[in-house]
Chain A
Amino acid sequence: MTSDQGGAMAELAVRMEGIVKRLPGVVANDGIDFALERGEIHGLLGENGAGKTVLMSVLYGLYHPDAGTIAVRGRKQSMTSPSKAIRLGIGMVHQHFMLVPRLTVTENIMLGSEPMKGGLFLDERAARRAITELAEQYGLPVEPKARVEQLSVGHQQRVEIIKALYRGAETLILDEPTAVLTEQEVEHLSAALRKLRGEEKSTVFITHKLSEALALCDRITVLRKGKVVGTVRAKETSERELAEMMVGREVVFTVRRREATSGQETALRVEDVEADDDRALPALKGISFELRKQEILGIAGVEGNGQAELAEVLTGLRPAKSGRILLGGVDLSGKKAHDYIARGIAHIPADRQRRGLVLSFTLKENAVLGQHRNPRFSVGPFWQKQRAIGVYTQEIMDAYNVKAPSPSALAQNLSGGNQQRLIIGREFSKSPQVIVASQPTRGLDVGGIEYVREQLLNMRDKGAAVLLISMDLDEILMLSDRIAVIYDGRIVAIKDPEETDRQELGELMLRGAGEMAGRAG
């Protein structure tokens, strides 16, 4: 029906037709058509698992499609590898940055198209000059000589974008670029994208946030379960319409369920805690706060401001250099994970596959992780109560709806949602006094997210004190009874969610309290 040399096609930066991509257990892209015009910002909207990233990975040559064709600037191409995509002027900024922490910004950017001198040696000076020019042209300041591991997340993202531009990208794919940014950083990013549009460069903007898609994009394509629901102009649609397209039914925006019954009794008191990160640089610089019984305290902040270290310090996984951690009047600083568990601190770790589970162990073995020395499951170091463990595992599976063939199944064979349910079941079954929940809903589908949030509220209502660490500001606003903002290893403010808004929180997250007017990120 369509011819390869159609006049209209020449106008398109990219045209994808009938893309099919099967991944183990799922058809991630099921006959997708997608057209990207030159000089537009095109939103690709959909829930987790809708197939957005897979579609763009196909375009970038990371996945080979099972069916379908791709045309770049009117020419049919088979995207065999990222280097082919790069040659055709397509650049991609992944959600998890493709940067080598130990190398410098310049080394990272020039990788793959390094300037040479004398035909043999790297010409770093030439690369630095080119980088500085690009940075100025698009308003994306970067520090060419710095090592990437020393940079903030926002800075790293700018490096990624410049990396794509350095390689001559005409089409830029950004995968969930705002997930790690504050409102203010998002502003800077969109300014840069508009500059790119001014130069006839096209951008694909992958997101699941309606408001951002509407604010930033010219056109929006909505995906659902691997299929295109439709493409609309941003000016001619509304959040409600987009939400309906995304989810497939009319959406009642989730109401915040909170009875504000928060008690006054302190469950956990953190006093002036300092700790280093993995590179032995200070990450927590004197953190103090109080967590009360029967409340959810949300920790809001830009990724990399000490959240990960905070969660680890509060669960004994990372030593505190100074300060006190008081649980029911007992100072736990200097103690190990084992003592924290014994004192009733439960932990939903951010990295559930690495920290939360031993993937090659059975559900039974995972169900007692952390309690394996509990008299309920063992007698001394040389006797394990197999039957009690089996029964307990089955109880968790029933109560928390963990779908698995049997308690003897391996954890690695469970879906992400079921793995998370197993962890939550295990941690909540200990009837903990304090729960440290780190990014508990990341990577889950809508059903999973609602389930986890429900459970957190349940535990709060039963009297537990919950510390919710999340990069998702909406989640924090939805669930928290109080919100603490973390910036540069310190709590800079504690706010009542009724009396604050995204704008104010974003401001605090970006610059801290005292430095509001100070240096720029």
Chain B
Amino acid sequence: MDIFTVALLLSTLRLATPVALIALGETFSERAGIINVGVEGTATLGALVVALISFYTRSPWLALFAALVAGGLAGALHALWCIRWRANHVVSGIGINILVGGLAMFITGAVWGWRGTSPSAPTLNPWIIVIAGFVIICVAQVYLFRTRWGLRLRVVGEKPEAADTAGVNVHLTQYFYTILNGVLCGLAGAFFFNNLGRFTFGMVGGRGFIGIAAMVIGNYSPLGGLGAALLFGFVDALQMRLQAHIPNQFSIMLPYLLTVVVLAAFIRRANVPAALGRHYVKQ
């Protein structure tokens, strides 16, 4: 078939990037024991902020930076709620998704007068983010398993008491990696904007949740998450080419169905951090 081409390969790499970045972010925060299902909303926020700043400053680089900061702030909010106020992690993440959803509509409406979309604004070449993403993921793999900070991170999510008695600041670690997760989601969001040239509501379209699925399938390792993300990227790229051949509702459905099927088929529970979702209370 003529749909299997170099172009397909390239769009696989492109579409895999945001999923892989979110999977990596979630790997960091869950290795520190913090579940964040707010990645979907955080990526949306990143895309919105990058559109706003790029529209007003005409500087896509500044906009990219702003998206990272916004993502980090969303991560910080989540961390504050989960660590300081001991909220249920999942519920706090849902809160982020709903709040950002509302804000995205409200802000686009308030600023541009269109509910949920931005006008086009200057973009970066999305391949910059793709390449940066792949480099970050490789570095993260080494960081997690070959450095002292990686070791400490792994211990915090497995047994915070052990980290604490070894002199590792558990809460600080959790804050750091939850914020880092937000920053990576912000980067993913920036990709969505730069890929399309504008912000539209729903442009993340469940890729945040798919990122979480990719992390699970990748067994909590950065490279594993990348592998799973590439699979989704491929199916995503494929479905776009299939739209000419089958009703587009079915092709849109494909990545979501695939997620369910792959999760059901390949589930491995080996590396779930033992203290995931727990509130560590220092005595």
Chains A and B share a contact (CB less than 8 Å): yes
Q: Contact residues of A with B, CB < 8 Å?
A: 57, 60, 62-63, 81-83, 86, 92, 94, 98-103, 107-108, 110-112, 114, 116, 120-122
Expressed in whole angstroms, the Cα–Cα distance for A82 and B160 within the complex equals: 13
Give chain A residues whose Cβ lies under 8 Å from the Cβ of B146.
Answer: 121-122
Chain B facing A: main interface SS: helix
Flag if B167 contacts A114 (CB, 8 Å): no
Interface: B8 (CB within 8 A) = no
Chain A residue at minimal CB-CB distance from B152? A111
Query: Any chain A CB within 8 A of the CB of B148?
Result: yes
Partner of A100, one of B142, B147, B148, B155: B155
Do B147 and A111 touch (CB < 8 A)? no
B148 in complex: contacting residue of A62, A92, A98, A114, CB < 8 Å: A114
- Nearest-Cβ distance from residue A81 to partner chain B, whole angstroms: 7
Instruction: Write out the residue numbers on chain B whose beta carbons fall within 8 Å of the beta carbon of A62.
Output: 164-165, 283
A98 touches B147 (CB 8 A): no
Q: Are A82 and B159 in contact (CB under 8 A)?
A: no
Q: What residues of B have a CB within 8 angstroms of the CB of A103 in the complex?
A: 151, 154-155, 158
Which residues on the A side are within 8 Å of B147 (C-beta)?
Answer: 120-122
- Given A94-B165, A100-B162, A112-B167, A107–B151 Cβ distance below 8 Å? yes
Bound Cα distance A377, B151 (Å) = 52
Q: Are B151 and A111 in contact (CB under 8 A)?
A: yes
Smallest distance from the beta carbon of A343 to chain B beta carbons, Å?
Answer: 32
Task: Report the bound CA distance from A103 to B152 in whole Å.
Answer: 11
Q: Is the CB of A100 within 8 A of B158?
A: yes
Mask of B141-171 contacts with A, CB within 8 angstroms, 1/0: 0100011100110110011011111111000
Taken together as a complex, chains A and B put the C-alpha atoms of A108 and B155 apart, in Å, by: 9
Which single member of B142, B158, B159, B166 contacts A112 (CB below 8 Å)? B166
| A111 x B283 contact (CB < 8 A) | no
Closest 3 CB pairs of A and B: A83-B167, A112-B166, A114-B148
CA distance A114 to B159 in the complex (A): 18
The residue on B at minimum CB distance from A124 is B146
CB distance from A121 to the nearest CB of B (A): 5
Q: How far is the CB of B142 from chain A (nearest CB, A)?
A: 8
| Complex contact A116–B162 (CB within 8 A) | no
- Contact status of A92 and B158, CB under 8 A, knowing A121-B146, A122-B147: no
Contacts of A111 in B (CB 8 A): 151-152, 155, 162-163, 166, 168
> Which residues of chain A have C-beta atoms less than 8 A from B166's C-beta?
82-83, 86, 98, 111-112
State in angstroms the CA–CA spacing of A137 and B18 once bound together: 53
Contacts of A108 in B (CB 8 A): 162
Residue with the greatest number of chain A CB neighbours at <10 A, chosen from B147, B151, B283: B151
Residue B274 CB within 8 A of the other chain = yes
Chain A: CB-nearest residue to B275: A100
Question: Residue on B with the closest CB to A94?
Answer: B165
How many whole Å from A201's CB to the nearest CB in chain B?
19
With a cutoff of 8 Å between Cβ atoms, the chain B residues found around residue A116 in the complex are 148
